[in-house]
Amino acid sequence: MKKIEIAQFGGSETLQLVDAPIPTPTGTQLLVKVAAAGVNFLDIYQRQGAPIYGITPPYTPGLEGAGVVEAVGSDVTAFTVGDRVAWTMALGSYAEYLIVEQAKVVSVPQGLDLVEVAAFMLQGLTGHYLTYSTYDIKPGDIALVHAAAGGTGSLLAQIILLKGGIVIGTTSSDAKEANVRALGVQHVIRYDRENFLDEVKKITDGRGVDVVYDGVGAKTFDQSLLCLKPRGMMVLFGAASGAVPPFELMRLNAAGSLFITRPTLAHHVGDAAEFAMRSKAIFDLLLQGKLSVRIDKRYPLADAHKAHDDLASGKTSGKLILVP
């Protein structure tokens, strides 16, 4: 089979297509033929070698995807050959075949397309936990969502709207602005040419927002804090523009007794029941046509390096996927 391998951390040139034997599942493992694998910013952070992820090269990147069970280990009880499954937080997805623990996959309901589901798992589940667990959006809440045209941002914005929240979305080009407006987002700020803090103050009559969802990081963090109402919630969930430097806690006091958190998906799907609950919730929304995922671009495995460069460039709008 073909797979991508990273022999040492570094730039996108480290993503090399290699040949490998098709592995055999043992115990509670499944062998899955990958229909599509999603590309995420997290794959880039891992490729760059951030120690927090605990990865040692050589490794095959990619944390999400969907496909069909090809073989099962002797202790597998929940799945059988031919089942359609999806996963997230399972390293090795940039490949024609993946070995994955049965506890890390969910069944894909009839009526959902495997490629669409692959494009949706990590970011859809992220949108779910950020809006139900990190900060439980209530009707009328005003949320500032940065990079609202992005893969995660666009799903996050849709779920907030479904929960009755009001979204102020930021983005940086005419085409992306059109994509954000098409989601039904009430207020769009062009932070490439407008000061988003000033605009948020205007939109909220000086009150500030209830919650900020910031996956952009270094570029937006300081002003994001100032967009919050007193006792508002700052959710820093990524670093697309770079990591936020060490933070002085007294700033939360000065800015209005704010709350801050830096959550990650792994801690919200690690328990099998929780993973199943969140997956069912987002699959139901997809089946009901209430959520949509915009696939910006599909790449063959061999072009994984191009997918990383495109995502890192900040020019994409929606999801990038690899189709083996």
Ligand X SMILES: NC(=O)c1ccc[n+]([C@@H]2O[C@H](COP(=O)([O-])OP(=O)(O)OC[C@H]3O[C@@H](n4cnc5c(N)ncnc54)[C@H](OP(=O)(O)O)[C@@H]3O)[C@@H](O)[C@H]2O)c1
The contact set with ligand X (CB under 6 A) reads: 40-42, 122-123, 126, 147, 149-153, 171-172, 176, 215-216, 219, 237-241, 263-265, 311-312, 314, 316
DSSP string for 79-102? --TT-EEEESS-S--SBSEEEEEG
- Phi first, then psi: what are they for 318, rounded to 5°? 120, -155
- The number of C-alpha atoms within 13 Å of 47 and in the hemisphere containing its C-beta is 27
Residue (26 or 259) nearer to ligand X, CB: 259
Residue (189 or 286) nearer to ligand X, CB: 189
270: left (phi over 0), alpha (psi -120 to 50) or beta: alpha
Q: What is the DSSP letter of 21?
A: P
Smallest gap, in angstroms, from Cβ of residue 185 to ligand X? 12
Residue written as token pair 């990190």 = 134
Smallest gap, in angstroms, from Cβ of residue 44 to ligand X? 8
Cα angle 305, 124, 169; round to 5: 90
Smallest gap, in angstroms, from Cβ of residue 218 to ligand X? 8
Looking at the DSSP bridge assignments, the partners of residue 33 are 68, 97
Smallest gap, in angstroms, from Cβ of residue 5 to ligand X? 22
Residue (30 or 269) nearer to ligand X, CB: 269
Residue (97 or 120) nearer to ligand X, CB: 120
Q: How far is CA 117 from the centre of its chain?
A: 13
Smallest gap, in angstroms, from Cβ of residue 186 to ligand X? 17
Residue (64 or 84) nearer to ligand X, CB: 64
